[in-house]
């Protein structure tokens, strides 16, 4: 999971400048402030609402409602897996045509983005359907064999509301596929981020520290130690980053000089912040001290990243600043309150590991399909690079 916030105001092609490498005129202070402020807001929204939805997800009673649980073993090996995947992408772009690789990636994220966005908007859309809405139930069933050897391959249940959400999400998907517009990119990116924070659960604080610590080292090495991250990030066309144009005030919606924030800089700290919200609730003290502390720490860490980047005019690995803030601030609060033991001994008891997803024996819903794809694939893809 690379994690770098790009420096777009220096006119470099790396930071969202022209593909031919020509420099751009320096951005205005107003444009820079608007871009960074918007990126910060877009990062906070999926963390806040994803954390709230993660609580409801953890309380789900059905097998298909259980979140993907990341164990300490998963956390320890994830930076290694991500490094291998990143290096593999680097070699692919060096050996094969970038055009064809990105065509395949566009189709892949077209499908994945529609499912993620549909799952994201479904709770909001349900509030707008009238009471007398003709909501019909459907079932998609594929089997193989016959008689006693008959085996279900696909057995999905869905309704008309699900189809409406998929239809609306498909419009955004076609828009992204045809235009690669930055707004469509952000809609998919926000959906991926919210799904990740909601559905990827750390089993305890120790696991969170292992994951964030490992990715801290991963991030610094691949951003500062090699050109692999930069090469792949510049070649990789997919909605795995949030972008906002600095020249919006001058060019409107057709602006093309972007500031960028990788989804990993949102999802990875976000799942740790969501864990602390569930820990707050488990204490049954009717306070959300650790959640608000970690949320404020995230704002501080991302703000510090932007400040350092602006001073040194160089892209920064955001996790370099986010990890110490998001881990350190809550631990200091726990020390002050004498709750360190409770914090590190609290363990999630429900959920399934990403590498061994459950397969409910009853008819699954479209929502279950969306959730499994959006969580498992985010761990594999969105976690590789998000420059």
DSSP line for 62-98: SGGGPPEEEPHHHHHHHHHHHHHHHHHHHHHHHHS-H
Which of 2, 7, 162, 265 is flagged as catalytic? 265
What's the pLDDT score for residue 354?
52
Query: Does 162 qualify as catalytic in the annotation?
Result: no
Residue 353 lies in a domain: yes
Q: Which residues contact 171 (CB under 8 A, 6 or more apart)?
A: none
CA atoms within 13 A on the CB side of 47: 28
In a domain, 74, yes or no: yes
Q: Is 265 annotated in the active site?
A: yes
How many domains is the chain built from? 1
CB atoms inside a 10 Å sphere around CB 335:
11
Question: Does the residue 387 lie in any domain?
Answer: no
147-156, 220-229, 289-298 — which one is most confidently predicted on average?
A: 289-298
CA atoms within 13 A on the CB side of 91: 6
Q: Residue 348: inside a domain, yes or no?
A: yes
pLDDT score of 141 = 86
The per-residue pLDDT for range 197-233, each reduced to its tens digit, is 999 999 999 999 999 999 999 988 988 888 888 788 7
> Whole domain around residue 250: which residue ranges?
4-382
pLDDT in tens, 334-357: 999 999 999 998 776 555 555 444
Segment 322-337, tens digit of pLDDT: 999 999 999 999 999 9
- What is the Cα–Cα distance from 295 to 309, expressed in whole angstroms? 21
Please give the average per-residue pLDDT across 238-249, as a whole number: 91
Is residue 302 in a domain?
A: yes
Which residues lie closer than 8 Å to 283 by C-beta, 6 or more apart?
339, 342
148 inside domain:
yes
CA neighbor of 236 nearest in space, from 382, 111, 377, 117: 382
Residue of 2, 7, 219, 247 marked catalytic: 219
Stated length of the chain: 387
């Amino acid at each position: 999971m690379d994690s770098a916030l790009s420096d777009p105001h220096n006119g470099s092609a790396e930071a969202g400048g022209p593909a031919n490498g020509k420099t751009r005129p320096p951005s205005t202070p107003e444009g820079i402030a608007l871009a960074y402020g918007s990126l910060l807001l877009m990062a906070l929204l999926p963390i806040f609402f994803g954390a709230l939805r993660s609580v409801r997800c953890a309380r789900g009673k059905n097998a298909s409602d259980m979140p993907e649980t990341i164990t300490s073993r998963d956390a320890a090996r994830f930076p290694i897996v991500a490094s291998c995947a990143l290096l593999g992408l680097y070699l692919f772009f060096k050996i094969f045509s970038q055009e064809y690789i990105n065509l395949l990636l566009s189709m892949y994220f077209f499908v994945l983005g529609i499912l993620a966005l549909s799952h994201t908007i479904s709770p909001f859309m349900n509030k707008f359907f009238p009471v007398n809405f003709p909501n019909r139930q459907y079932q998609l069933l594929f089997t193989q064999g016959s008689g006693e050897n008959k085996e279900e391959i696909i057995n999905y249940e869905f309704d008309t509301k699900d189809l409406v959400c998929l239809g609306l999400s498909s419009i955004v998907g076609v828009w992204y596929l045809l235009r690669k517009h930055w707004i469509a990119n952000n809609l998919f990116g926000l959906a991926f981020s919210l799904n990740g924070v909601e559905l990827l659960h750390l089993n305890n604080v120790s696991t969170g520290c292992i994951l964030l610590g490992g990715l801290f080292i991963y991030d610094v090495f691949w951003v500062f130690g090699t050109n692999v991250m930069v090469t792949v990030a510049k070649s990789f066309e997919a909605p795995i980053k949030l972008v906002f144009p600095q020249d919006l005030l001058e060019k409107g919606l057709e602006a093309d000089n972007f500031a960028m924030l990788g989804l990993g800089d949102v999802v990875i700290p976000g799942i740790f912040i969501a864990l602390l919200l569930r820990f707050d609730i488990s204490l049954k003290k009717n306070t959300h001290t650790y959640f608000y502390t970690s949320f404020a720490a995230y704002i501080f860490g991302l703000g510090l990243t932007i400040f350092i980047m602006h001073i040194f005019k160089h892209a920064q690995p955001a996790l370099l600043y986010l990890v110490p803030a998001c881990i350190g601030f809550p631990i200091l609060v726990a020390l002050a309150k004498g709750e360190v033991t409770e914090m590190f001994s609290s363990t999630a008891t429900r959920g399934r590991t990403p590498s061994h997803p459950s397969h409910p024996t009853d008819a699954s819903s479209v929502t279950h399909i969306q959730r499994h794809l959006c969580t498992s694939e985010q761990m594999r893809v969105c976690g590789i690079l998000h420059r």
